[in-house]
Structure 1
Amino acid sequence: MTLTLAQARQIIDGALAEARTRNMQPLAVIVLDRGGHPVVFAREDRASLFRFDIARAKAKGALGMGVNTRQLAERAKENQAFFASLSAVIKGDIAFSPGGVLIYDAAQDIIGAVGVSGDVGDLDEACALAGLACAGLGAAQSS
């Protein structure tokens, strides 16, 4: 299965709707296909300058490492030298904070990732998961 534009838009809409129900800080949300290409991006009014870059780094990091960024953050604590080297090699295009979540299809194949940035990582991740639920898509299971 391929991630569609309609699904990506539903992910964005669901994530932003969740953020508004929680009265969160303004967010940026990006959906990447499995090749790391942007499908849709949205930035709420008053979201700060680097939110696009952080959301993209969360989604791209999850895709590149094959796990969501919550697990990356945990792994980075235990192996700081490796993750510092990794970040240098890929020119910082990875973020070690919750909010980058892999997207799975019904066959459990990765079809993309969503990245959310703007509030604390736990809330960013909750919005990513809400967006996936809104689109009827699965998220990465905790490792």
Structure 2
Amino acid sequence: MAGRSITLEQAQAVVAAALKEGRAQNYQPLTVAVLDPGGHLLAFAREDNSSNLRPQIAIAKAAGALALGLPTRILGEMAAERPTFINALSTISPVGVVPAAGGLLIYNAESEVVGAIGVTGDISDNDELCAKAGIAALTF
């Protein structure tokens, strides 16, 4: 892959694979966002009947992973230990931070961060499984 960012085509493939996993598992309607390393939205999809705050949650999950360089599952664990710190992130992040599983960093073959995915709609563990399925669809 040339450059240090996931391409639009790759981002769309990640979204499609995450949604496909959600349908295969019969999860609740999902919303998926893929951001570039700078936090800009590259690809997005909101399934029919997905609730109205899901776009913001998906983006905030991906952005939170990028902001701290950690999966949002770990941010959730941090929230239990240091709630003031995690709460402060939501006030300084332009799109917020959601400390719940479903936000993951996307790495290229050289272990460089090339983007992030945020998935929301079902329970957070299932959101994360779909995010992992989306990332697994990538080839570099």
Amino acid at match of 1:88: T
Please give the alpha-carbon distance, in whole angstroms, between the structure 2 residues aligned to 1:86 and 1:5: 28
Asked whether the 8 Å contact 2:34–2:43 carries over to 1, the reply is yes
Please give the alpha-carbon distance, in whole angstroms, between the structure 2 residues aligned to 1:5 and 1:91: 22
2:57 aligns to what? 54
The CA RMSD over aligned residues, in Å, is: 1.3
Question: TM-score, with normalisation over the residues of structure 2?
Answer: 0.93
**Matches for 1:122-137 after TM superposition, within 5 Å:** 122-136=125-139
Please give the alpha-carbon distance, in whole angstroms, between the structure 1 residues aligned to 2:32 and 2:101: 13
**Matches for 1:35-114 after TM superposition, within 5 Å:** 35-90=38-93, 93-114=96-117
1:9-41 CA-partner distances (Å, limit 9, x unpaired): 110111001001110000100100000000010
2:36 aligns to what? 33
1:56-99 CA-partner distances (Å, limit 9, x unpaired): 00000110111010011011111112112222233661001100
Question: TM-score, with normalisation over the residues of structure 1?
Answer: 0.91
Please give the alpha-carbon distance, in whole angstroms, between the structure 2 residues aligned to 1:92 and 1:12: 20
Identity %: 47
Matched, 1:24 2:27: yes
More displaced stretch, 106-115 vs 83-92 = 83-92
Q: Which runs of 5+ in 1 are unaligned?
A: 138-143
Amino acid at match of 2:23: R
1:96-138 CA-partner distances (Å, limit 9, x unpaired): 110000000111111110000100000000000000101236x
